[in-house]
Structure 1
Amino acid sequence: MKQLSFAAVLCFAFFTSFAQSKETIAYRKESEEMRKSVWAWEDPKFKVKDIPQKYANASKIIIAHHTELTADSKSSIAFYGLGFGTKHKQNLTEIVREVVKLNDKNAVTEYSELSFTQFEKRSGFYTSDKSSTYVGVRVIKGDGTVKEINADEIVLTKDAANEKQAKLAIPDLQPGDILDYFFATAQNTTNDFATKVYTLLLFDNAPVLSYSFHSQLGKKFAVEYRSYNGAPELAVKKSAESDIEISVQKNDMPPFETSLWVSATRQLPFIRMNIGQGYKGIGSAAMGMSRPGEIKKIANSQNALEEKSREFSLRYYNGYWMRNGREEYISMEKLAKSKAKQMGIEYKSMSREERAALIYYTARFDWLLRFSIDNLEGKINLPSRRFDGFPFSMFALLKAADLDPAIMVYEDRTGFRMNEAMNGSDLGAIAYLPGTNKFFSLTSVFDIPFVVPGSAEGAKNTKSFTFEHPAMAGPGKVANLTEVAPGPNVATSKSTDNARIEKLQISLTAEKTSLNVKRNTILKGHYKLDEQTKLVVYEDIMDYECKVFKQEELLLDEIANSKSGKKYINEVRNAFAEERKKQKDAFSKEAKDWFEQEVTEMKDYKIENPGIRHNAPDFVYSSNFQLGGLVKKAGNNIIVEIGKIQGTPLVIKEEQKKRALDIYMPFARSIEYHLEIAIPEGYTAEGVAALNSKVQNETGYFITEATSNGQTVSVKIMKHYLNSYEPLQNFEKILAFVNASSEWTNAKLLLKKK
C-alpha cells in the first residue's frame, strides 16, 4: 500500500463534525475541479515513457515527482463578538504529483491502494479552519491506453467526526504499467503564526528521473532553510508582487538503500524549511521570529540552542519559581524523606547520588504509577505509555532538593548534529548532576536513574545549562540562564550492557516431536523496554515498589482499606484479574515471536525481576513450555535442528550488500543462548564437535561452543555487535559474523539410538 502523509510535511489537525450530504457534494465538485487543473499541467517530464537501461531491472522507477506549494496571507477586519480585531487568514494548497513505472509484482502490490486523509476540520472560539485532500489517478497501459480511476470511489477506513481516513483501490494493475497520480491538500487557517517545518526528501529507494519542487508564498510569509548531506541549494527570488518564489530541481537520482543501519538525517540528501507568517512587532526578537518577506539560510545552530534554552528558562521562571510550581517540587523531596524514614534510611546521611535516585523513584511512583479509579483502564495499561524524558521536571526536582543539577542539551546520535540543528526540537535534553555525570531521564515507568537514552550515547560537544531566580542571577544575566562550561561527554554502552541472554534447559522423549523448554531470560539495557511493556502487569509493578519502599499494604489492600476505595474495590479486583489472564497469552506470544516456532502448554510463567531499580536493573522472566518445529525422526534416531533455536537471525539481502554509507546501528548489543540439552535415555549424542564455530573481528563476533558429558549437551551461542557505529570499510567484517550466524541455523544435533 502506498501512503503519502501530508501531516509529516505540513501538520494539519482539525476537529469538528462532517455534514455528510452538503459536504460530500461540495467535496466531489472541488475534487473534479482539482483533477482538471492538475491533468492540464503541460510539462514534458510527466510524459516520459523511455526508461534508461541502467534502471531496467529496478522494481519501480519514479519518472517524475513534483510538488507545487502555494500560500497566500492577507489581513481583514473580523468581528469576534467581544470587539474588533485583525484576523490573519491563510490559504495553503499543496499538490504532489508522481508518475511511476511499475516493473514487477512487488511494485504492483505496493501501489494497488492509495491511502490518505480525505477530510479534517477544526473549529475554535476565534477560528474555523478546514483542510481537504483530493486525489487523481490515471493508469497508462503498455499500448498507450490511459484509464482514469474514479478517485471519488473511496472506502473510508476511519469515519469519525473529526477525521476521515480513506483508501482508494487501483484495480487491474500489471507489471509494465505507468501510474500517474496526485494528492492535493487545501487548507484554510486563521491567526496561525505557528512555524511549519517543511522537508524535501531528495532520496528514494527507487531511481527518480526527475524531482522538482516549486512554491509561491505571499509577501507576509518568512522562510528559513538549510540543505543537508549534499542536497542542492534552494533557488529563491521575489516576484513583482513581492511574493517569495522557491524552486528545486534534481534529475537522475539513483536509488538509496535505506532499510539497514542508515541515519537518514546524517547521510541522505534533503532540504528543510521553516515556513510561517513573519512578525516584526513588539517582542519579535525575543521570540526569535523572522520579519515578513525575510528569506534566511541557516548557517549554524545558534537559533536552535537559543530556542531550547529559552524554553527551559521560561519554564523555570514561570513555573518553578512561581509559588505553586515550586511547592510541587519541594513537596516531592518531603515525600522522598518520608519514604526514606519508612525504609529505615537516614536521608541526611545519603550521598548526593543516592538522594537524587530516591527523589527520582518517589516522583515516578507518585506521578506515573499511583493508582486512581478515575482512569482505571488507563492505569492498568500505563506501562505502555511513553513520555518525553521530563528533562525540566527532573531538573526542578533535583534543584528543589539543593542537589545543584543542570540540563544537558545534546545531538541525537542518529539525528541532527549540534551545528546543523534548525529548531530546538532537533536537539535532545536530559537532566544530570554536574561533577558526577549521573543522568536522569523518564520516558516510561520502567526507566531507572543514571541511564542515558540510546540517542544520547557518545554525545560530545554538548551544551549544559542551569537556571537561577532573576534576583540571584546578577546584572547582565539574560532570562535567568547560565551556561555551564563545558558540557559533559557521554559514555557509550558496550555489547554486554545491552544483552539478551536465553538460558534454556531442554529435554525431549523419543515419542514426542516437540522440546520441553524450561526458559530463563535476562534482558539488559536498551533491550528491556519492549518486553517489559508486553509482559509486566501493572499490579506487580505497584506491589514491587510498595515492597521496596517497605509500605505495609500492597496495592489492593491499600485500596480496600481506604475510605473511598471500599466502594469500588471489586471493580478494581475484576479489572486486575482480567489483566492477569491476559498475561499468559502475552508470555505465549512473546515466546512464539522470539523462537518463531509453535509454542504450547505455557506454564510456570513468572517475572523474576521487573528491572526497574538501578541496583537490580536486569529484566528477568521465566516460563516452561513445549517448543515445536525443531525435532525430526530419522528411523530410530532423532535429529534436533538446534540451529533454529535462534529463530530467524538477521539475513543481509543482496541489495543491502551494495552499500555506500557508513553504518549507524541502534546501539552495541549482544544475544546469547545458553543451552543444556538432556540426552534421552537409550540415546547418544553425535556431531557435537561440529557445532563449534568462531568468526571474530573488531566489529563483533559469532561464537558457538558445544560440549557433552554423555548425559547432557551444553551449547553456548554468542553474537555480539561491539559498536553502534562503524565506517563503511568495516561492512565486510560485519557481514562475516552476521553470515556465520545465519548459516548456523542449519546446525543439527543427532541423537542416535544405542
Structure 2
Amino acid sequence: MKRKNFLLILCIGLSTIIYSQSKKDNEILNDLIWGASNNTVEIPEKWKNESAVFLLKSIDYTYNRPHNSIEYTRIIHEKIKLLDQAAVSDYSEFKYKKNNSYRSYGTSIVKSKFTLGVKIIKPDGTEIIVDSEKVIEEDDQNKLAIPNLEKGDIIDYYFHTNVIMGENDLYHYEPVEDIVNEIYPIMDYQFVLNTEKDFFILFNTFNGAPKLKEEDLNLKKNRDRVRKYSFNMKDVDKKESQRWFYPFVELPSYKFQVNFARTGKYEKRAYAFIPKEADSIKSIIKKEDIFEFYTDKFRPYGDLGFVSQFLKGKTFASDEEKVKAVYYFIRHKFFTNYIEAYVFSEAKIMNAFNYYGYNPILFNKEEEFVRYFAAFLKNEKIDYEILIGSNRYNGDISKLLLESNAEFVLKVKTENPIYIESFNHYSTVNIISSQLEGINAYALKVTDQKHIDDIETTQLPKSNYKENNTSDVIDLTISDDFSTINVLKKSKNLGQNKLDEQGERLMFYDYVYQDYEKYGSLSVLDYVKKKKDKDRYEKELDALILNLKEKQKESFKKLSANEFSLELEDYDFKIVNNGRFGKGDAFEMDESFKINKDLIKKAGPNYILQIGKMIGGQIALEEKEKIRENSVFMSYPRSFSDAITLKIPEGYSVEGIESLNFDVVNETGGFTSKATLEGNLLKIKTMKFYANNFEPKENWSKMISFLDVAYQFSQGKILLKKN
C-alpha cells in the first residue's frame, strides 16, 4: 500500500527458508477476521469531504504458551471507505516483507508466518476477495496489486503475523509504541491484548486514549490465567503530518512491552521493568522503581589499564581538563581505533581484526560506557551523578514506561560540571543530545564514587541559540560575460549545528588518521609485516578512499545544490577543521563552485540577480500551516548568520538594496538583514534565530512573523544597471 508502504518486519528480525501458506489456512483466517467484522458502511456527514474514512481499525495482539513454546500473534485489520481518486491510488498496491520462515535460533526453533488478506466491497454490497498469492516478488519484498478499485469502494484487509518460538524460560518481546490517529478519520478504533500465565505486561495509554480494561472471560477453569484487555475509541479525527510536532507528546497513543518469565527465578533474572505479579499490569514507572532497577546496573566496572597508561606522566590544570582528555582518549581507544579495521573488513580487503588479537568491541550498551567511565572517576576520586532521562519526543520522564526509552548522561561534579554521553566518532564533552536538553530527569546520587544511595528529580542543561550557530561567509564574483557566478563559501558550525554537520559529512579518513597521530596508535597497515601483503592492501585501501572521496564530493555538491535550490558546477570542498575536540572547537569547511544562469537573468542592457537565494532555502508556509492546533517542538534553539559580499561588475550600478533590509525580532526568534554598498562591494549581513526548542501554540503567530520575512528575503532580487 503506497500510503503506508507496509514493510512489515517481525520483531525478532529473522530471514530464512520461505514456505508457502495453504489456501485452507487463508480461508480459516478470512472467516476468523472478516466474520467478526462490523458491517457499517455509512460515514458521518462531517467526513463526507474527506479523501477516505476508516470504518474500522482493529489491532489484536496475542501472547500465549502452547505446550513448552511461546507464541506471538498480531492481527492488524483495517476497513476503509475510499472517497476520492487520490485514496484509490494510495490503496491500489500493497507492499510487504517476505518473512515467512522456519529456522533454528540459538536453542529454539522459530517458525514465523505472515498472511495478507484483502477484499473489496462494492457500493452494491458485492464482495471481491483478492487472491493474495498473486504477488510480484521484488528483492526482499512482495507486491500485491489491487485491481478494479473505484471511488466509493470499501477495501477490507488484514495483516496476520504469527511467531512460534521453542522452549524459552525468559524472553523480552520488542516494545510497541503507536499513535491512534491516522491521516484519515477513524469511526471505530479497537485494541485488544491477550496473554496467559507467565507473561508480564507493561502498558499505558496517553493523551486522552482510554485506559486499558480487563474483560471478564467467565472461564470456569483458567489454570493458565488467560487474560484479555482492550480499549476502544469512536470518531477519531484525522491528524496530518505537520512541521515541528511530537505525536507521542500530544496525540492519543499507547505503549507496551510483554516479557515472558517461566518461573520465579527467571522473573528475578528478567532485568526489565516488570510488574510483581503476572496477572497485573504495570502502567507507571515511579522514581523508586528507577532507583531499585538501576542501583546494581551502574556499579563502576572496567579494566582501566589503557587509561592509566594514557595518564602516566601527564599533568592537568584541573580535574575538568583531565576528565575531558580521558573521554576523548577512550573515544579513540575503544571506537575510532577500530573503524579502519571495519572498513578493511567491509570492503573485503582483509580481515583486519586478526591483527588485534582480542575483541575490540568494549561498549555494546550505554550502560557499559557509564560503568566504565564511572570506574575511571572512582579511581580518580572525582564525584559524579548518573542522570536518567527520556527523549523529548517521548514526553516527560514521569511518563517513562519502557526501559528502551531511557537515556543516560553522566554529570561529573567538577568545579564547572561536565555532562557527557556515550561516544560516537564526533561526540563532544558538554554537548548532549538535543532531545535531552532541558528535560526533567532522575539523578542517581553517588557517594564515595561507587555507592548509589539516593535518587532525586533534576533538570538537564539547555543550550541557547548563540551556542548552536552556523556562520557562512560567502563571496560572489560575476564572470565578465555574466554567464556564471563564482562562489567561495566558508562555513563555521558550533553546538548542535556542528553535530548535525559532522554526522552528515565526516568520513572515516577525515578523523581516524588524525586520532592515530594524536594518540600514537598504529594504523591497520602498521600491523602487516609482509611487504608484499602490505603494498597490496595499501593499494586497495587507496583505491577505496579515492572512490569514497569522489562520492563524498558528489554528496556535498548535492547538499549545497539543495540548500540553494540551484544547479552547481565545478564544485570543490575542503574540511578545514573537523571540530571533534571541545564545545568551542568548530566544524569548519570551505566550498567553491559556480552557478550558471539560474541566479542571474538578462533584462535588456541590465541584469537581475536573485541574491536572496544565497542564504539558502527558507520555509514557505502554506496558508493551512498558519493555523496551528498543537505546540511547536523543535530540536533545539539555533541561529544562522550569513555575510555575503558581491563585487559589482565594472560599468554597472546596483538598485533595489533597500528591499533587502528586514528587522523582525520577538521572544520566539527573529530575522534581521542589512544591505550596504561600500565602493563596488555590496555587503549583506543576515541573522536568523530560533530562541527556544519549544513554543506553545499561542506563540505560533510570532514565529510566523519572522519565518515569513526570512522567506521574503530569500526571494529578494537586485538590479545590476548598466551605467
Same fold (TM over 0.5): yes
Q: Deviations over 1:287-310 (max 9, x none)?
A: 464466512242443475147515
Trace 1:149-168 onto structure 2 (pairs within 5 A).
149-159=130-140, 165-168=141-144
What is the distance in 2 between the residues matched to 1:716 and 1:617? 24
Q: Deviations over 1:528-571 (max 9, x none)?
A: 3343244333223133334545x5x9959956899895663333
Q: Deviations over 1:30-75 (max 9, x none)?
A: 334323432323423xx31x32232233233222101233333244
Trace 1:548-563 onto structure 2 (pairs within 5 A).
548-549=518-519, 551=520
Q: Deviations over 1:105-125 (max 9, x none)?
A: 443343333222332444134
Q: After the TM superposition, which of the residue ranges 722-731 and 663-672 deviates more from structure 2?
A: 663-672
Q: Which residue of 1 aligns with 2:226?
A: 243
Question: Is 2:558 the counterpart of 1:589?
Answer: yes
Q: Which amino acid aligns with 1:590?
A: L
Contact kept, 8 Å, 2:261 with 2:267, in 1: the verdict is no
What is the distance in 1 between the residues matched to 2:87 and 2:438? 40
Alignment partner for residue 268 of structure 1, among 251, 256, 262?
251
Q: Which residue of 1 aligns with 2:513?
A: 543
Identity %: 24
Q: Which residue of 2 aligns with 1:16?
A: 16
Trace 1:318-357 onto structure 2 (pairs within 5 A).
320=301, 326-327=302-303, 330-337=304-311, 347-357=314-324
Alignment partner for residue 422 of structure 2, among 417, 442, 445?
442
Q: Which residue of 2 aligns with 1:30?
A: 25
TM-aligned CA distance change 1:145 to 1:499, over 3 Å: farther
Q: Which amino acid aligns with 2:453?
A: T
Trace 1:458-497 onto structure 2 (pairs within 5 A).
458-466=438-446, 481-483=452-454, 486=456, 489-497=459-467
What is the distance in 1 between the residues matched to 2:688 and 2:266? 57
Alignment partner for residue 343 of structure 2, among 369, 372, 376?
376
Q: Which residue of 2 aligns with 1:73?
A: 65
Contact kept, 8 Å, 2:179 with 2:247, in 1: the verdict is no
TM-aligned CA distance change 1:410 to 1:67, over 3 Å: closer
Shift of 1:201: 2.7
What is the distance in 1 between the residues matched to 2:584 and 2:512? 16
Q: Secondary structure at the match of 1:119?
A: coil
Alignment partner for residue 60 of structure 1, among 52, 67, 85?
52
TM-aligned CA distance change 1:724 to 1:251, over 3 Å: same
What is the distance in 2 between the residues matched to 1:503 and 1:561? 48
Alignment partner for residue 112 of structure 1, among 85, 92, 97?
92
Alignment partner for residue 413 of structure 1, among 392, 395, 399?
392
TM-aligned CA distance change 1:12 to 1:674, over 3 Å: same
Q: Which residue of 2 aligns with 1:498?
A: 468
Question: Is 2:647 the counterpart of 1:670?
Answer: no
Contact kept, 8 Å, 2:428 with 2:583, in 1: the verdict is no
Contact kept, 8 Å, 2:470 with 2:497, in 1: the verdict is yes
What is the distance in 1 between the residues matched to 2:236 and 2:587? 46
Q: After the TM superposition, which of the residue ranges 287-296 and 591-600 deviates more from structure 2?
A: 287-296
Alignment partner for residue 111 of structure 2, among 125, 130, 153?
130
Q: Which residue of 1 aligns with 2:486?
A: 516
TM-aligned CA distance change 1:125 to 1:647, over 3 Å: closer
Alignment partner for residue 367 of structure 1, among 334, 339, 342?
334
Give the TM-score normalised by the residue count of structure 2: 0.88
Q: Which residue of 1 aligns with 2:280?
A: 295
Alignment partner for residue 139 of structure 1, among 120, 124, 128?
120
Contact kept, 8 Å, 1:510 with 1:638, in 2: the verdict is no
Contact kept, 8 Å, 2:396 with 2:439, in 1: the verdict is no
Question: Is 2:170 the counterpart of 1:169?
Answer: no
Question: Is 2:707 the counterpart of 1:738?
Answer: yes
TM-aligned CA distance change 1:537 to 1:220, over 3 Å: closer
Trace 1:427-438 onto structure 2 (pairs within 5 A).
427-435=406-414, 436-438=416-418
What is the RMSD computed on CA atoms of the aligned residues? 3.2
Q: Deviations over 1:448-502 (max 9, x none)?
A: 1122111221133432244879xxx8xxxxxx5333x656532211112222222
What is the distance in 1 between the residues matched to 2:696 and 2:347? 44
What is the distance in 2 between the residues matched to 1:391 and 1:58? 51
Question: Is 2:405 the counterpart of 1:426?
Answer: yes
Q: Which residue of 2 aligns with 1:729?
A: 698
Q: After the TM superposition, which of the residue ranges 532-541 and 555-564 deviates more from structure 2?
A: 555-564
Unaligned 5+ runs, structure 2: 353-362
| Aligned residue pair count | 694
Q: Which amino acid aligns with 1:246?
A: Y
Q: Deviations over 1:394-449 (max 9, x none)?
A: 33343344433332112323323222112322221012212542012234201111
Unaligned 5+ runs, structure 1: 76-87, 160-164, 321-325, 342-346, 474-479
Alignment partner for residue 577 of structure 2, among 595, 609, 617?
609
Q: Which amino acid aligns with 1:396?
A: A
TM-aligned CA distance change 1:107 to 1:499, over 3 Å: farther
Contact kept, 8 Å, 2:71 with 2:165, in 1: the verdict is yes
Alignment partner for residue 451 of structure 1, among 420, 431, 437?
431
Q: Deviations over 1:622-672 (max 9, x none)?
A: 121012421111111110112233443223334433322221111111223
Contact kept, 8 Å, 1:66 with 1:213, in 2: the verdict is yes
Contact kept, 8 Å, 1:413 with 1:458, in 2: the verdict is no
Question: Is 2:550 the counterpart of 1:570?
Answer: no
Q: Which residue of 1 aligns with 2:383?
A: 404
TM-aligned CA distance change 1:158 to 1:675, over 3 Å: same
Q: Which amino acid aligns with 1:73?
A: R
TM-aligned CA distance change 1:665 to 1:489, over 3 Å: same
Contact kept, 8 Å, 1:494 with 1:668, in 2: the verdict is yes
